[in-house]
Amino acid sequence: MTLLTNSGYKVKAGSVANTTGLKMEAGAIVFDESSQTYKISDGTQWHEIIAAPYNNTYWVDMLGPLFGQRLDVAATRYSYNPFNGAIQFDNNARYTEEVIIQHVQLQHWWKLTTNGKPHLHWKQQSANIPNWLLGWKLDRNGQAGAVETDYSNFTFGVIESHAFTYTSGVLNQISLFPDIDLSNANISDLLTIALWRDTANASTLFAGADPSSLAELAMDLDTHIQVDAPGSDFEYVKS
């Protein structure tokens, strides 16, 4: 075993309090004490040298297709809207009948124990917010499961905030639901996520009946997660 202490193999970057105001010399490498990371300059800006596991946490989208039960039936209360690539929920859509399901798997680069942040992309057409209702259930691999026949084992949430402020016309809106608790989850565990427009407030989770009289368009549903590595250490275990 070769010890690198005081040897010719060791390269030590200069330590600085931070990179603010430092001259941008291409190829320069410094150790930034404020972020505890190494940075390299390209002559224009400083770039953090990424380690594995990552020395910082990054956000990514956990995506999955949306599918419903009766989207092609003429008498349905929701349908596929091809012009907007959306699911159109009519103003009489119901919880629990008109449901959109998304099935996603926790990715290997997910940062263990951190929560998922689900949000809905939709076409906001007025100041009236539809009764968008989210439900989710976690299936942990290797743990006791159940063959579900209803949504009694789901956790429910309603919109808490919006990314953008509506003023007029049609706004491409992102609306945020409560966090999904993943503190006891592991990589490759499965999330079943359900979306409804609960126009009659059958769930009793809203202030009242849906205030919007319009057909509302759900564009996409995804969950932000934090990642801290390019993958897992082992195929089914992230240590």
CATH number given to 58-227: 2.60.120
In tens, the pLDDT along 121-159 reads: 999 999 999 999 999 999 999 999 999 999 999 999 999
Give the domain ranges of the chain: 14-48, 58-227
CA separation for the pair 223, 64 (Å, rounded): 9
The answer to whether 84 and 219 have CB atoms below 8 angstroms apart is: yes
Output the CA–CA distances (angstroms, integers) from residue 167 to 211, 215, 217, 231, in the order listed. 17, 19, 18, 42
Interval 52-78 mean pLDDT: 79
> Token pair for residue 238?
């992230």
pTM of the model: 0.82
Q: What is the pLDDT of residues 182-194, one digit of tens each?
A: 999 999 999 999 9
Asked whether 54 and 228 are in contact (CB, 8 A), the reply is yes
Give the residue among 185, 105, 99 at the shortest CA–CA distance from 142. 185
Six token digits for residue 53: 């596991």
Torsion of CA 205, 193, 95, 127, to 10 degrees: 60
| Residue that wins the pLDDT comparison between 179 and 234 | 179
Q: Which helix (H) or strand (E) holds 198?
A: none
Give the confidence band of 58 by pLDDT, cuts at 50, 70, 90. Answer: confident
Task: List the structure tokens of 26.
Answer: 């291409």
Q: Which candidate, 191, 29, 40, 206, places its Cα nearest to that of 110?
A: 191
